[in-house]
């Protein structure tokens, strides 16, 4: 039945713009202008003679700093998306690729994020020689690493769990791979991807603040990139409370802007991709999305690439060719098996080779042994990498490394095995910043590791430090759970309250917790608390929110009939917790716990060494170890620290979280 009357919209003459465009057009122009401004700053020239300190504490600069930080965040997010789409797709689609790519992703994900900053600064400076963009790229890369892994994982998981019926429908319709990707796989993955991107960006603010101050080889001082993070770092160095307040305010506004201008609209838009059979009662709303959808300009812009898209679309179509079956024909299988074997062998050999190279890098050519003996640690006598101390050593004929490290072996060589010490050297060794072994003669007699390399006893020590950190992580996550769980349940069982609290908790997760660290330093110093214990809460400061909002979500998701039944049977108090709440919320708790512990591990690098002005508190742990060795260049010590943390986190997840997760999946699912 053809419509007899055209709809009223068709009759109305279409102006090229609607009144919504009055808001949208200036908005788009302003965005473009800001983007140019940020890009200009990011690509300024950079030379060895450029000033270190490009940041000032004057709050008038804060909007600009905010813009630059925001720009980094955005760039990192775009990169993450690009990586996610390629890497996860390759892992899910290429035959056998998954066997390498997924464990690799798992390992990369457990490496400490700030380690990447140290590891890549040199590379990026070399890549963008003469431009500030080298530093900028290092910072962006660190933020990228904080966001990308779980986005890639989420996308990969979605690709692997596309419902069978839809796969069959797509195959039956003979969609091409390109068409299937955009019409089936990407839409199906969208809600998970958006959610994970949102979580990632929340975590990303923490690293924006932590990655704008970068040490560079050959520069005595750290390099400050214009940004809120650098501003915060300077304020901490100068112990300026007022500046911290300004910075906090700026970050508050930034997180708010990001949320309102980017994520709310995207979340509201992604609602339609939810794979559910019935219409949900309420859906996410965003005024920005509404605005964009009503404005004609944006719709025009959105329609610009349409012809190209349509062309690609039709090019990729199968037209009259048969479609692809969902499984390969049986003939191919035996051939596949042989190829599988060859592939596994190649992967194993490759992994062994890599391991060899890695160990060679960490321990030097003898892999930690020399002359049939196990080599002993060759410590750095200038652990703070202080240029002043390094200069004094140099004055006494003991040459420091470019990054100011002074190796014991050089001292031994210059003093004939620690026997001949002139007076100046003796005095220098007694300075508070210098860490020399008490019995120099004896220390020099042992076979020392090559300069800059690690030794096996040190590897053991690092593992011990790692266990300390693991203990801290476990304890604080447990404490945070004990604290937030009852609150989360209280809120989650009251839908109206939950709707109000949920965005607040999300906001809390996004607000970079490192801003609050100085408060703790002041308190710890003031009350003479033991830093070994009292810096621990800092580690979970940023991650605790995941526990809260997963608890809220878990409690809110308890089906009504279960709650009714519990009420009917008079389930109350401890029994209600054991029989209803905990089992019903277990999956959400595990999810929250996994996210929170990951965040806590990552925060340990920043949290085990905290400063305020001249005060520095250090707690024993792997985070502090990595932080101490993070000078400008990547070195075997940072490598060892990252490796140890990576392995520990991997083991932690395998041994603790995975069994819990499986339990949650199998026993406690509510559907």
Residues near other proteins (CB under 8 A) are: 1, 165-166, 168-169, 171-176, 179, 183-184, 187, 190, 272-279, 310, 313-314, 317-330, 666-667
Whose tokens are 């042992």? That residue is 446
Nearer to other proteins, 325 or 420 (CB): 325
Minimum Å distance from CB 3 to other proteins?
8
Minimum Å distance from CB 538 to other proteins?
38
Minimum Å distance from CB 321 to other proteins?
8
CA nearest to 61, candidates 87, 32, 35, 41: 41
Minimum Å distance from CB 652 to other proteins?
26
Nearer to other proteins, 66 or 265 (CB): 265
Strand 609-612 to strand 615-618: parallel, antiparallel, or no bridges (unpaired)?
antiparallel
Phi, psi for 43 (deg, rounded to 5): -110, 20
Distance separating alpha carbons of residues 73 and 71, to the nearest angstrom:
5
Nearer to other proteins, 100 or 660 (CB): 660
Nearer to other proteins, 76 or 184 (CB): 184
Which tokens is 330 given?
Answer: 């049986």
Whether 480 contacts 596, CB under 8 Å = yes
Q: How many angstroms separate the Cα of 27 from the Cα of each of 17, 292, 391?
A: 15, 11, 54
Minimum Å distance from CB 670 to other proteins?
14
- CA angle (483, 113, 257) in 5-degree steps: 70
Minimum Å distance from CB 280 to other proteins?
9
Q: How many angstroms separate the Cα of 593 from the Cα of each of 339, 376, 482, 577, 644?
A: 40, 39, 12, 18, 22
CA nearest to 395, candidates 429, 425, 426, 434: 425
Whether 542 contacts 599, CB under 8 Å = yes
Nearer to other proteins, 276 or 423 (CB): 276
Minimum Å distance from CB 577 to other proteins?
16
DSSP structure string for 76-145: HHHHHHHHIIIIIHHHHHSTTHHHHHHHHHHHHHHS-HHHHHHHHHHHHHHHTTTBTHHHHHHHHHHHHH
By three-state DSSP, how is residue 404 classified?
coil
CA nearest to 480, candidates 507, 503, 508, 500: 508
Nearer to other proteins, 173 or 525 (CB): 173
DSSP structure string for 177-196: HHHHIIIIIHHHHHHHHHHH
Nearer to other proteins, 16 or 322 (CB): 322
HEC string of 20-69?
A: CHHHHHHHHHHHHHHHHHHHHHHCCECCCCCCCECCCCCHHHHHHHHHHH
Q: Residue 56 CB: number of other CB atoms within 10 A?
A: 14
User: HSE (CB half, 13 Å, CA atoms) of 21?
Assistant: 11
Beta bridge pairs of residue 131: 45
Minimum Å distance from CB 113 to other proteins?
33
Nearer to other proteins, 165 or 282 (CB): 165
Nearer to other proteins, 33 or 172 (CB): 172
Minimum Å distance from CB 644 to other proteins?
35
Which tokens is 289 given?
Answer: 């999305």
Q: How many angstroms separate the Cα of 376 from the Cα of each of 272, 452, 536, 640?
A: 61, 12, 31, 15
Minimum Å distance from CB 583 to other proteins?
8
Which tokens is 431 given?
Answer: 């300075």
Whose tokens are 């096996």? That residue is 456
- CA angle (174, 180, 183) in 5-degree steps: 120
Residue 617, H or E segment: strand 615-618
Whose tokens are 């429908």? That residue is 169
Nearer to other proteins, 109 or 179 (CB): 179
Torsion of CA 314, 315, 316, 317, to 10 degrees: 50
Nearer to other proteins, 361 or 577 (CB): 577
Distance separating alpha carbons of residues 608 and 627, to the nearest angstrom:
8
Nearer to other proteins, 178 or 287 (CB): 178
Nearer to other proteins, 6 or 438 (CB): 6
Whether 598 contacts 540, CB under 8 Å = no
Minimum Å distance from CB 272 to other proteins?
5
Nearer to other proteins, 272 or 391 (CB): 272
Minimum Å distance from CB 575 to other proteins?
12
Nearer to other proteins, 309 or 500 (CB): 309
Minimum Å distance from CB 190 to other proteins?
8
Minimum Å distance from CB 61 to other proteins?
44
Minimum Å distance from CB 99 to other proteins?
19
Whether 429 contacts 379, CB under 8 Å = no
Nearer to other proteins, 322 or 573 (CB): 322
Q: Residue 365 CB: number of other CB atoms within 10 A?
A: 9
Minimum Å distance from CB 277 to other proteins?
6
């Amino acid at each position: 039945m053809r419509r007899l009357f055209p709809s009223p919209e068709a009759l109305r003459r279409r102006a090229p713009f609607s009144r919504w465009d009055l808001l949208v057009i200036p908005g788009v122009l302003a965005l473009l202008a800001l983007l140019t401004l940020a890009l200009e700053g990011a690509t300024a020239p950079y030379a060895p003679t450029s000033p270190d300190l490009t940041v000032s504490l004057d709050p008038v600069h804060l909007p600009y700093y905010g813009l630059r930080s925001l720009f980094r965040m955005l760039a990192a997010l775009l990169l993450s998306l690009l990586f996610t789409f390629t890497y996860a797709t390759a892992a899910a689609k290429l035959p056998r690729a998954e066997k390498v790519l997924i464990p690799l992703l798992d390992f990369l994900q457990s490496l400490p994020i700030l380690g990447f900053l140290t590891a890549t600064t040199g590379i990026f400076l070399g890549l963008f020689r003469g431009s500030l963009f080298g530093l900028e790229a290092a910072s962006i890369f660190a933020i990228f690493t904080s966001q990308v892994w779980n986005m890639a994982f989420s996308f990969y998981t979605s690709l692997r769990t596309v419902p069978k019926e839809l796969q069959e429908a797509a195959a039956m319709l003979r969609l091409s791979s390109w068409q299937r990707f955009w019409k089936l796989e990407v839409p199906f993955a969208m809600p998970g991807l958006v959610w994970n991107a949102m979580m990632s960006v929340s975590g990303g603010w923490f690293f924006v603040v932590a990655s704008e101050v970068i040490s560079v080889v050959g520069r005595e001082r750290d390099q400050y990139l214009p940004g809120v993070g650098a501003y915060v770092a300077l304020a901490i160095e100068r112990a300026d409370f007022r500046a911290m307040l300004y910075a906090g305010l700026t970050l508050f506004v930034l997180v708010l802007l990001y949320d309102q201008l980017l994520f709310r609209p995207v979340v509201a838009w992604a609602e339609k991709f939810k794979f559910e059979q019935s219409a949900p009662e309420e859906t996410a709303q965003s005024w920005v999305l509404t605005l964009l959808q009503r404005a004609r300009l944006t719709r025009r812009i959105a329609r610009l690439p349409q012809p190209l898209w349509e062309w690609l679309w039709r090019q990729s179509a199968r037209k009259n060719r048969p479609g692809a079956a969902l499984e390969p024909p049986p003939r191919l299988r035996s051939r596949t098996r042989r190829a599988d074997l060859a592939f596994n062998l190649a992967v194993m050999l490759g992994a062994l080779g890599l391991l060899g190279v890695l160990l060679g890098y960490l321990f030097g050519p003898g892999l930690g042994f020399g002359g049939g003996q196990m080599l002993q640690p060759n410590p750095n006598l200038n652990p703070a990498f202080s240029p002043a101390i390094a200069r004094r050593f140099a004055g006494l004929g003991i040459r420091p490394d470019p990054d100011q490290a002074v190796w014991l072996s050089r001292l031994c060589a210059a003093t004939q095995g620690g026997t001949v010490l002139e007076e100046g050297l003796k005095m220098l060794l007694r300075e508070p910043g210098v860490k020399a072994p008490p019995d120099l003669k004896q220390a020099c007699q042992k076979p020392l590791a090559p300069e800059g390399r690690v030794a096996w006893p040190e590897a053991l020590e690092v593992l011990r430090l790692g266990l300390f950190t693991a203990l801290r992580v476990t304890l604080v996550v447990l404490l945070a759970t004990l604290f937030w769980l009852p609150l989360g349940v209280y809120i989650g069982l009251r839908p109206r309250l939950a709707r109000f609290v949920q965005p607040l908790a999300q906001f809390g997760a996004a607000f970079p917790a490192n801003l609050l660290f100085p408060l703790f330093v002041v308190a710890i110093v003031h009350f003479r608390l033991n830093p070994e214990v009292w810096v621990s809460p800092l580690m979970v400061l940023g991650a605790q929110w995941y526990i809260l909002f997963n608890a809220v979500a878990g409690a809110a998701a308890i089906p009504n009939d279960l709650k009714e039944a519990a009420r009917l049977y008079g389930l109350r108090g401890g029994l209600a917790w054991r029989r209803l709440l905990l089992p019903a919320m277990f999956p959400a708790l595990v999810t929250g716990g996994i996210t929170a512990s990951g965040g806590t591990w990552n925060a340990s690098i920043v949290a085990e060494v905290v400063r305020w002005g001249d005060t520095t508190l250090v707690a024993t742990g792997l985070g502090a170890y990595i932080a101490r060795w993070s000078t400008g260049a990547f070195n075997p010590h940072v490598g060892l620290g990252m490796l140890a943390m990576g392995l520990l986190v991997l083991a932690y997840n395998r041994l603790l979280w995975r069994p819990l997760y499986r339990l949650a999946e199998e026993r406690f699912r509510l559907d």
